[in-house]
Structure 1
Amino acid sequence: MWLLLGKGFFMGIFLATYTVGAETLFISRMGEGLLGIAFFTGGFLGIVSTIVFVSLQRNINFSSLAITNTFLILAYVTLLRGTYEFYDSPWISFAFFVMMGPITAVTLLTFWGVFGRMFNLRASKRIMGGIDTGQLLATCLAFFSIPGLRRLQLINDTTDLLFISIAGAFGIFIFTLLIVKNYNLDGATKKVSRERPNTSYSDLFKSKYLGLLSMFLIFSASANVFVEYSFYESVNVMYPNETELSNFLSFYDGSIIVISFIIQSFLNDLIIGKFGLKVSLMVMPIVLAGLTIGAIVSGHIFGFEVKNEEYILFFLFTGLARLLTASLKDALENPAFKIFFLPLDIKIRFDIQSRVEGVVNEFAALISGAALIGLGLLSFFKLIHFSYIIIFLAVGVIYVAVKLYDEYKGTLKITLTRQKEALGSKGKKNENSTVNVLQREFDEHNAESIILSMKLFEKLEPIEFRKILVETLKSPHPEVRKYAYAKCRQVNNFEKLAEIKKLASYEQEEQIRNLAIEVIAFLQLAEDYKLNEVSIRKLVRSVDKDDRVFAAQVLAKLDEEKYIPLLVELARDINVNVRTAAIASAGINKWPELWPILIENLHVPIYSNVAKAALTAGGEATLHTVDTAFYKTGQQGSTMFRVVQILGRIGGPEGVERLWKKIDFPDKAIVSEILLSLSYIGYHAKDFQAARIKIQIEAEIGDLAWNIKVLTEIPTENETDQLLVQAMEEENAQNYDDIYMLLALIYDSQAVELVKENINVGTSESVTFAVEMLDIILEDELKPKLFPVFDELKPQDRLSQLNDFYAPETFRGYEDLLLSIVNRDYNHINRWTKAVALYRLSMMDETKVSADLIANLFNPDKLILQTSAWIIYQKDKAEYQRHTRRIRPGVKKDLDRAIVPPTFVETEEDLHMKMLLIEKAVFVKGLDLFKTIPGSVLTDVVDASEEVRMRQGVTFINKGDNGNAPIYIIVKGSVLEQDDNGRQRTLGSRDVIGFNKLVETDQFEYNYTTTSEAIFLTISMEALFDLMSKNIEMVEATLLSVKDSDQIEAEDEVMDEERLLLFSQ
């Protein structure tokens, strides 16, 4: 970054001094009559330079092109300045002036080309502001320092400015060499895509849209040339002295930079956001026309050829016209104009853009120069008459802008249709389901990722897993096939025996072929097993759990009702493996008598996933039974959540209808899962249902507005404030996801997907393009509310626009804001954000035992209840005792155990107070393992965790232990990880043990022993898988974390082997 910043600094100095020097020398030494020729020549050279640049960029390494460009520019400026020492000809000034445009264009193209190749999009967005600001400061510094340098007599002649230009060009060259040496600028461009269509310049006018783009730029650039011509002629009259002219031009050109920066920083977003792209293109010509009319009137009345007191008025209008035109063109018109290229096909977009903005722009300068030459030959055509042409060109810009915008809207619709076709089936429904996320891992080209996905499939989708096993037997990876055969035996996948036999016959690896023969023999035994009451009952009543597991598996093929009681018996077995196998068999044979038992297991973490999968496998026949369970009085919340998931997985018209009937359920978690289930199906709402979705969208926008208001008023005094900001930002992220999902339910889901993709890119152009697409998709009633949500606005500006529809809440202070978060309805804010707000309240001295805190002692949410009680205890112990007497004895007992230290403790007694739930949550939130998981999900992880204390020297995991062991998160203390070969390392606070052991067949490779007293948070694998099935973020985080963990372990093993090899030598 510093190399690029240095190059930008020298570039700013070079361009500023070269511009002032070239303008001053040309105007003062060439006089009138050659401006037209100069513009014509500059336009021709500009066309040649841009064509050559574009051509070379395609055919040679960009690093070579960048070095060559900067060297040639340095050589050109040095050569011409040296010529002044021997031959002071005005034609040298002409050479400087006509190359001003081409040199500026090539310098900027090279600089931003280097920038784009040094950094990816994410890094570019982060540092672009700093690079742009550095270049701007250098340019302003150079412009405004020129008069001072003259007064200090450091510059005695305008040609001396060129020495500074040479120094700037030399600095650019040196920094370019350093960048090329330290960065690979050719990696992204060595191979040119063969699929890129060939476009010619004639294509720019064959297409109506491209023709309008070109015509707009021709009119705009031509107007700019005529304005510059009028300005140069008038400034030559106003400042005949070369020194005065140089001082004036330096301040004048510097003012253009400053005004452009002000417009870009404070007016650009306002004009584009509030008035749209069409008005943005029309601002410059309207301002230009108004000032030009003023110049015409003042010129005719007060004169325009001779410098006198009245001439100043004509010069003022002419100077302002060029000042504001240049500023508006750079700060407003150019950014808006770039957006009009976004509807073009990505394969030709950048090629067309470089041709239009480069060659067509220079072509406009060429024909304008030719027009100036022709008009200059007319004796009656005076300076003021050029102003009439400027008005004509300004009106032409306005007219073409209107036509261009109308064509842009039509092209946008065509582009939207084309991009939807390119998506194919993608985006028609929500693809981010658990099954899809895991199946995407099969596209990875390494065996570890596939096996990892299979492990998660086994736990999260156990019945689907049986089908996946057969597919993975076709894998090109021997490790995957070996794992799949072993699992086929473990789950007794005999119903797929025919397919397994066929695939095994193609197996080439001898070791795997032998394993396949063993597996097939075992499966054949189950396939041939004849069900009869005596034999199966013997297995069912066996004391050996393996016999009962086998019985449960073979009962999958039961076809007589008399065997149902036996499967029911096994489905209530105390052994986890037996019960799991029985529930899976119930899903395979689909007997309705077993469904109530499956529903009973939906809320039990260890069986919830297999029970859900079994009921889902029952298809539409299970819908009534499952739906009835949802409305059972006193039903478990987790069961209701699972019922919604099952209805969504089964789908169909009846499934959708039953889901929709629950849309007004008074629990946001349930409603969110209903909407998610509908999005997985690809449901499209109409009429009344669409109106209901729109109400939900408006409610989400209201929540977003409230959150933004809160975020603007949260101070950043300590880490907890930052945690609260993060929690609120997670709320916003969830609201945005909900809005996208809701829009996809009532509008074209693929169009919504394209809008989301463009907004996620995050550039100004892509966001504006996304909003333009929304303008086509949305109905008028939602546009004023949704545009501020998605447009690129500052928080205060976004809030200001949303406040037109959602009245802002006023907070009396930070404490009031925190209490407002705590008291906000659960349907509008999650428990994690509430808990963090309470946690922050506990740190404030001014916090009192208020009615808000007392009311939360009756909150059914244990996290909020415990945190509120803890705050009350910290602030006033007597009040805690007084108010907790009102709650149920069992709840008070739990609170006292967590909050109140024992009053009678023997001195030698070892007292340990466990962490509060909020303390656990804050701790877990800080772990790298869970960094991508929202706090609302982590609170469920904390609920499922247990705190364990161990003394020094306790070995709690031995090498060879299976994957049923819980996850251990070290809160305090140290643990020695050691294997039988002496390899070891010490783990400390925040390290996690066992997260990569997902299934029972996984085994630990190390012994783990505490080397000091240690405190752990433990999470059972069953609870973790239960949470994964409810939250896709947990699945994604697990995939990422296990891969990282395995990679680290592999690297450690390599390092240990290298270290042992080194010692042996």
Structure 2
Amino acid sequence: MILTNGSLIISLAFLIIIVKKYDIDFTKIKTKAEKKSLRFKNLFKRKYIVLLSVFLIVSMIAFKFIEFIYSNALEQRYINDEQSLFAFIGIANGTIMILSFLIQTFVNDRIIADYGVKTAVLVMPVILGVLSIVAIFITTAFGFSGVESAGFAAYFIVIVGAYVFTNSLRDAMENPAFKLYFLPLEDNIRFDIQTKIEGVIGQVATLVAGGFMLLLSFVNLERAYFLLSLLFIVVLMVFVVNALHKQYNDVLHKKLSTLKKNVNNADAKLPFNSVVLNHDVILGLLKSDLNTVKLNLDLVKKIEPGQYYELLYYLLNSDKEEVVMYVLKLITEIKPLSSLQPLNKVIENTKHGQVKMMAENARSMIYHFKGIMDEGFLLDQMARSTNINEREFVAHYLSNHESSNKNDNLLHLLLRDPNNQVRKSAIIAVGKIKRPEFWPMLLELIQSNTFGSLAQKSLSLIGDPVIGRLEAVFYKSGQSLQTMRRVLKTYGRIGSEKAKEALWNKMDYPDKQIQQEVLSNLSGIGLVVNAERASKIKDIIKSDLINIVWNNLAIRTVRIDMDNQLIESLKEENKKTFDHIYTLLAMIYDKSSIAIVKENIESNNPDNITFAIELLDVFLDEDLKEYIIPVLDDIPIEDKLSKLNIYDPFVDASDADLFKSIINRDYNQISRWTKACALFNMAFLDEDDIVSDDLIAQLFNPDQLLCETAAWVIYSHSPYDFQILSKRIPEHSKRYITKLIPEIDNHNINDIFKLKFGKARFLKKIELFNTLSTSVLNEVLEICEETYYPEGTTLNLKGNYSVSDLILIFKGKLSLVNNTGETFKFGNGHVIGGGIHLSGDDYFSVIEEDIIGLKIKYDDYLELLNNHKEVLEKVLKLNNRQFVL
């Protein structure tokens, strides 16, 4: 009693601590769908829920039955020895607890992983059934006249074993596995159903089982008949499990279909599909303030000019009067012909007098200009006007009218306009009119950093006729990676069978970044995958899975890792590879099914992971199951290796051996950033032979990131070796390297910023880039240049603030004051420029402390947003929230 009471007091103390320390008020938890409750009369209208309840009742009857037989056997064995009875019960209960712990720790997960939920639930009834048959055989074949007989001893051992195993397996395996059967239920009613079944139905099951035992206690049956009744219940339980699991698979299929419909319905609710703005931003813009609207409008205009007008017209439905008036002001300035219908709608529906007046004024001006243009007056004059809006209006006008010699001449003029925004409008117009004489110019512009992304979108409007010429651009000798990616994105936007074929033909391209771009575009346009293509995709998936295991082995082997950089990089590699695998799977199987699997696995919840594996088991081909499931499942890495037939390459490997393996690994299997992290860690090794051929070879690597890091590592270990080896460095980098490396203070970690590796470390700490993959971070690193602004100087941020370069502050302080006197403070790790957080006002800058940082030119920044959706989404996240500096 003392031990019991002490345990209760300790439990109560822990409960009080948990309640005080953690917020467990479930009324505050928000879910995607509102939680619902089912009445009991509606609960049993579903066959699946009925089977769950029946299983629980039958399982409880089986348990109570063996408990009754066990109690009866104990009573006979220890009828005159109460002390021995208590001792035996204590030993039996202790064995049950230990066995439960061992099964749950070492057996349960493996059973579920290897054989599935059904097997885990069947283990208990199968063992109970086998032991029941043995007990029946002993009773009928040998019989026993008293408790001292050999027959009774054998019977007693079997019954005790049956009870101990049943009790242990029920707690450690059946109950956890049974909970997984609730996962396919709808999210908003799952917990309500689970509570009712495990709570109310569970108690009803106990009552039914108890009543059944009470009834049998009045019937004088022989042991064999009791055991036969138990065997019958076990057989019934097996039938119920089979029926339940069959229904479970049906419910899984229905859930996948429902989720697919929900995804399609969500997309259908959007007023327009935007390449730039995500679902939540689009739906939230009508309630957003003016500054947020300006930021998003500016972003769309720069990234996706073709959708700029759609967004303008959508914002005419805003709840904010100031937003509607701002949009009407823009429409009045630009005068797009396509705005007439939305303006008519505003005039008919608005209740605000000023809004209606502005809309009528805008409509009148557009009709006036349209009449002048249709008659041919002023078109040439406006195309040469000093007013940017008028020249942009002409480009917009020409995009909606049939081509003529005069119009073509004006388009040629606008394509050479000194203002980039006018040129961009002209590029869009060229794509819409689809005249072949303009194609060479578009094919030239697609190779430009400033207009490449827009030319890509314009070429996509032309479609199949331009694919042959785009192929020539793609395979042009010495072509840049950026241009190749734009060509692939063009195919993805065209989306025709010819474009799909052109994309598929590049699946074997030796650069993994190109392969990923190909897959990204193919997955977006719905490639029809035949058996041959599916086989090729499966081979890529298997190769990716092996890379993931290799990375996991490397993570396990690492011992020296400054700031945990290498391990984090390898984990990022795995995350990116998993994303790659999900993309590939979505090409073979249903997209929404793969999306649900991904969501459950990335939740890191063991039950959700098991549920995801069950989903995969429903639709995955057998040849993929043997690769994917072991990698995804939460099992020891030794078991993964065994199932995949892979050996551990790092057995007894030192850190130096591991780092060399990473450095020498193929670029298509590991990123340059991970290689750089391995190189960086070599500086902190104590071994004498660090300056090996593998390290020296990196001095001659054309990749500046790896070359610089290797040089710094060599210098940190042996300045003498660096001096000797630097004489062999190619001249184009020798002067730079020999000047840079000795200047770095190895005792000051911030001095590493002088290296590209240090700049990359800094980028990973900035909110805009801290969640990006290493491959994207590498691209950001390549377009950054170190910059310095001394105290007392100013930055040229006045006027159109959102088109300034992006500046990332490594060290220093800056204040921006707008024309209303509002002050914004910036410091270490902050980002300014590029249209992030602030837009539309004039700002006066005051540099309060010398600024050292990185600068990304505006055109390069836009290209980054065009190429990488994750960067764009991060900018959207920063812009569409209340930001406090």
CA deviations on 1:656-712 (whole Å, 9 max, x unpaired) are 121112121111111111111111112231132222222222222222222222222
User: Take 1:944 and 1:452, find their aligned partners in 2: how far apart are those partners?
Assistant: 23
User: Take 1:325 and 1:1003, find their aligned partners in 2: how far apart are those partners?
Assistant: 74
Aligned residue in 1 for 2:436: 592
Query: Which amino acid is 1:656 matched to?
Result: K
User: Take 2:483 and 2:373, find their aligned partners in 1: how far apart are those partners?
Assistant: 36
Query: Which amino acid is 1:260 matched to?
Result: S
Structure 2 counterparts to residues 130-169 of structure 1, below 5 A: none
1:1032 counterpart (857, 863, 869) = 869
Aligned residue in 1 for 2:764: 925
Aligned residue in 2 for 1:863: 705
1:561 counterpart (405, 408, 411) = 405
User: Take 1:554 and 1:588, find their aligned partners in 2: how far apart are those partners?
Assistant: 11
User: Take 2:373 and 2:215, find their aligned partners in 1: how far apart are those partners?
Assistant: 104
Q: Secondary structure at the match of 2:551?
A: helix
User: Take 1:893 and 1:558, find their aligned partners in 2: how far apart are those partners?
Assistant: 59
Whether the 8 Å contact between 2:791 and 2:848 is mirrored in structure 1 is yes
2:312 counterpart (456, 463, 469) = 469
Q: Percent identity?
A: 30
Query: Which amino acid is 1:278 matched to?
Result: K
User: Take 2:440 and 2:56, find their aligned partners in 1: how far apart are those partners?
Assistant: 72
Query: Which amino acid is 1:265 matched to?
Result: T
Q: Secondary structure at the match of 1:930?
A: coil
Aligned residue in 1 for 2:605: 763
1:716 shift after superposition: 5.9
Q: Secondary structure at the match of 1:1013?
A: strand
1:691 counterpart (528, 535, 539) = 535
Aligned residue in 2 for 1:33: none
1:1002 counterpart (840, 848, 852) = 840
Q: Does 1:780 align with 2:618?
A: no
Query: Which amino acid is 1:644 matched to?
Result: L
User: Take 1:873 and 1:420, find their aligned partners in 2: how far apart are those partners?
Assistant: 57
Q: Sort the Cα spacing of 1:187 and 1:244 in 2 relative to 1 into closer, same or farther, 3 A.
A: farther
1:801 shift after superposition: 2.8
Whether the 8 Å contact between 2:415 and 2:426 is mirrored in structure 1 is yes
User: Take 2:30 and 2:474, find their aligned partners in 1: how far apart are those partners?
Assistant: 58
Q: Does 1:336 align with 2:180?
A: no
User: Take 1:654 and 1:973, find their aligned partners in 2: how far apart are those partners?
Assistant: 53
1:885 shift after superposition: 5.6
Whether the 8 Å contact between 1:257 and 1:327 is mirrored in structure 2 is yes
Aligned residue in 2 for 1:1020: 857
Q: Sort the Cα spacing of 1:224 and 1:627 in 2 relative to 1 into closer, same or farther, 3 A.
A: same
Aligned residue in 2 for 1:942: 781
Structure 2 counterparts to residues 626-645 of structure 1, below 5 A: 626-645=470-489
Structure 2 counterparts to residues 355-754 of structure 1, below 5 A: 355-379=196-220, 381=222, 386-424=226-264, 435=275, 437-438=277-278, 440-444=280-284, 446-448=287-289, 449-488=292-331, 492-499=334-341, 501-503=343-345, 505-506=347-348, 507-513=350-356, 515-516=358-359, 519-520=362-363, 523=366, 527-528=370-371, 556=399, 559-561=403-405, 564=408, 567-568=411-412, 570-573=414-417, 575-715=419-559, 717-719=561-563, 722-754=564-596
Whether the 8 Å contact between 1:970 and 1:988 is mirrored in structure 2 is yes
CA deviations on 1:278-315 (whole Å, 9 max, x unpaired) are 32122212333444456567778695864799976654
Q: Secondary structure at the match of 1:1024?
A: helix
1:332 shift after superposition: 0.5
Q: Sort the Cα spacing of 1:167 and 1:901 in 2 relative to 1 into closer, same or farther, 3 A.
A: closer
Structure 2 counterparts to residues 63-102 of structure 1, below 5 A: none
Query: Which amino acid is 1:233 matched to?
Result: N
Q: Sort the Cα spacing of 1:385 and 1:251 in 2 relative to 1 into closer, same or farther, 3 A.
A: same
User: Take 1:920 and 1:484, find their aligned partners in 2: how far apart are those partners?
Assistant: 41
Q: Sort the Cα spacing of 1:591 and 1:479 in 2 relative to 1 into closer, same or farther, 3 A.
A: farther
Aligned residue in 2 for 1:129: none
1:778 shift after superposition: 1.7
CA deviations on 1:362-416 (whole Å, 9 max, x unpaired) are 444444434433433344635x764443344334433443444344434444444
2:883 counterpart (1047, 1051, 1054) = 1047
Structure 2 counterparts to residues 811-822 of structure 1, below 5 A: 812-822=653-663
Whether the 8 Å contact between 2:814 and 2:849 is mirrored in structure 1 is yes
User: Take 1:998 and 1:983, find their aligned partners in 2: how far apart are those partners?
Assistant: 14
Aligned residue in 2 for 1:809: 649
User: Take 1:606 and 1:269, find their aligned partners in 2: how far apart are those partners?
Assistant: 55
Moved more, 976-985 or 331-340: 976-985
**Which blocks of at least 5 consecutive residues in structure 2 are unaligned?**
745-750
Q: Secondary structure at the match of 2:450?
A: helix
How many equivalent pairs are there? 867
Whether the 8 Å contact between 1:375 and 1:381 is mirrored in structure 2 is no
CA deviations on 1:825-845 (whole Å, 9 max, x unpaired) are 222222222222222223334
User: Take 1:637 and 1:978, find their aligned partners in 2: how far apart are those partners?
Assistant: 40
Aligned residue in 2 for 1:889: 731
Query: Which amino acid is 2:309 matched to?
Result: R
Q: Does 1:834 align with 2:672?
A: no
Whether the 8 Å contact between 1:873 and 1:880 is mirrored in structure 2 is yes
User: Take 2:779 and 2:499, find their aligned partners in 1: how far apart are those partners?
Assistant: 28
The two structures have a TM-score, normalised by structure 2, of 0.86
1:499 shift after superposition: 2.7
Structure 2 counterparts to residues 889-908 of structure 1, below 5 A: 889-896=731-738, 898-899=740-741, 901=743
1:230 counterpart (51, 69, 72) = 69
Whether the 8 Å contact between 2:331 and 2:339 is mirrored in structure 1 is no
CA deviations on 1:627-653 (whole Å, 9 max, x unpaired) are 331122222211110010011011111
User: Take 1:932 and 1:922, find their aligned partners in 2: how far apart are those partners?
Assistant: 12
Structure 2 counterparts to residues 42-121 of structure 1, below 5 A: none
1:797 shift after superposition: 3.7
User: Take 1:334 and 1:432, find their aligned partners in 2: how far apart are those partners?
Assistant: 48
User: Take 1:583 and 1:517, find their aligned partners in 2: how far apart are those partners?
Assistant: 30
Q: Sort the Cα spacing of 1:263 and 1:402 in 2 relative to 1 into closer, same or farther, 3 A.
A: same
Aligned residue in 2 for 1:136: none
1:931 shift after superposition: 2.5
User: Take 1:1033 and 1:936, find their aligned partners in 2: how far apart are those partners?
Assistant: 12
Whether the 8 Å contact between 1:212 and 1:404 is mirrored in structure 2 is yes
Q: Sort the Cα spacing of 1:855 and 1:576 in 2 relative to 1 into closer, same or farther, 3 A.
A: farther
User: Take 1:1031 and 1:177, find their aligned partners in 2: how far apart are those partners?
Assistant: 43
Query: Which amino acid is 1:341 matched to?
Result: F
Query: Which amino acid is 2:310 matched to?
Result: K
User: Take 1:537 and 1:202, find their aligned partners in 2: how far apart are those partners?
Assistant: 74
Whether the 8 Å contact between 2:73 and 2:156 is mirrored in structure 1 is yes
The two structures have a TM-score, normalised by structure 1, of 0.73
User: Take 1:277 and 1:612, find their aligned partners in 2: how far apart are those partners?
Assistant: 50
Moved more, 936-945 or 559-568: 559-568
Query: Which amino acid is 2:606 matched to?
Result: S
CA deviations on 1:324-344 (whole Å, 9 max, x unpaired) are 211110110112222233344
1:881 shift after superposition: 5.9
1:323 counterpart (164, 180, 199) = 164
Q: Sort the Cα spacing of 1:884 and 1:624 in 2 relative to 1 into closer, same or farther, 3 A.
A: farther
Q: Sort the Cα spacing of 1:531 and 1:974 in 2 relative to 1 into closer, same or farther, 3 A.
A: same
Q: Secondary structure at the match of 1:1012?
A: strand
User: Take 2:805 and 2:165, find their aligned partners in 1: how far apart are those partners?
Assistant: 69
